[in-house]
Amino acid sequence: MILELKDVNGYYDKSHILNGVTLSVGQGTSVCLLGRNGVGKSTTMKTIMGMLNPKEHCKTEGSMKFDGKELSGMKSHSIARLGIAYVPQGRHIFPTLTTEENLKVAARTGVDGSSKWNLETVYTFFPRLEERKDSKGDKLSGGEKQMLAVARGLMQNPKMMLLDEITEGLAPIIVDQLASMVQNLVAEGVTILIAEQNVKFAMKVSSDCYILERGTIVHHQATNELTAETRKKYLGL
């Protein structure tokens, strides 16, 4: 397993948000964290990235191992340097920089010295971004912004990507394009943990899923084996 969380608790000030989260992600696989609004999906991602720290009046307990290294207590930038690219919810890109500038500022050699993902390979992977390379971030469509956010993560040549609700607010046809993108990423050997509310999307892009409810994992199963009953029980679908 490249990522292993064991009994992780997360607090924002006095609010106890994550309650004993245990999950694991195998090298080269795509795993989905499913759950309704506000159950703690983003908080799980932020916790992995060391963003629930005492400086922000937050606290994390439990063990989080990435590639055998304990992440607990590490600073966010050090965690990123171990090879985890975090694509936060909300398509954080620089609005006044062009697509290409956005990509260039994110570029980094991987921990293993890999530079597999560079402007050329990213443009081959996302032809649309090459077409829009001189457009400023704020002039891109929602789908293009989301692709750029993921592409910026790839430019870091990560060992693993954390993708937080990349389908949010996007039209079904764009969501389908993002699903193909994630499937292609997995085919390229990228390891992915993805937070989602969209079960259909999750079923297309992940092999394994964990369902969160009020900060606790309540269900774990192969994504394509999720029954209508389970979906209805936990996700209201």
Ligand X SMILES: Nc1ncnc2c1ncn2[C@@H]1O[C@H](COP(=O)(O)OP(=O)(O)OP(=O)(O)O)[C@@H](O)[C@H]1O
Instruction: Give the residue, chosen from 35, 50, 137, 158, that forms a contact with ligand X under the rule CB under 6 A.
Output: 35
Q: Is 60 in the site for ligand X (CB under 6 A)?
A: no
Q: Is 40 in the site for ligand X (CB under 6 A)?
A: yes
Q: Please name which of 18, 35, 7, 27 lies closest in space to residue 67, comparing C-alpha atoms.
A: 27
Q: Is 43 in the site for ligand X (CB under 6 A)?
A: yes
Determine the distance from the C-alpha atom of residue 227 to the mean position of all C-alpha atoms in its chain, rounded to a whole number. Answer: 24
In the complex, least distance from residue 43 CB atom to ligand X, rounded to whole angstroms: 3
Instruction: Give the residue, chosen from 42, 99, 146, 206, that forms a contact with ligand X under the rule CB under 6 A.
Output: 42
Q: Please name which of 91, 47, 86 lies closest in space to residue 215, comparing C-alpha atoms.
A: 47
- Count of residues that interact with ligand X, criterion CB under 6 A: 13
In sequence order, the β-bridge partners of residue 59 are 11
Which of left, alpha, beta for 96 (phi over 0: left; psi -120 to 50: alpha)? Answer: alpha
Instruction: Give the residue, chosen from 6, 7, 15, 188, that forms a contact with ligand X under the rule CB under 6 A.
Output: 15
In the complex, least distance from residue 42 CB atom to ligand X, rounded to whole angstroms: 3
Q: How crowded is residue 124: how many other Cβ atoms within 10 Å of its Cβ?
A: 9
In this chain, which stretch among 39-47, 71-79, 133-141, 226-234 interacts with ligand X, using CB under 6 A? 39-47
How distant, in Å, are the alpha carbons of 8, 74, 222 from that of 214? 13, 26, 21
Task: Write out the residues near ligand X by the rule CB under 6 A.
Answer: 12, 15, 17, 35, 37-43, 89, 165
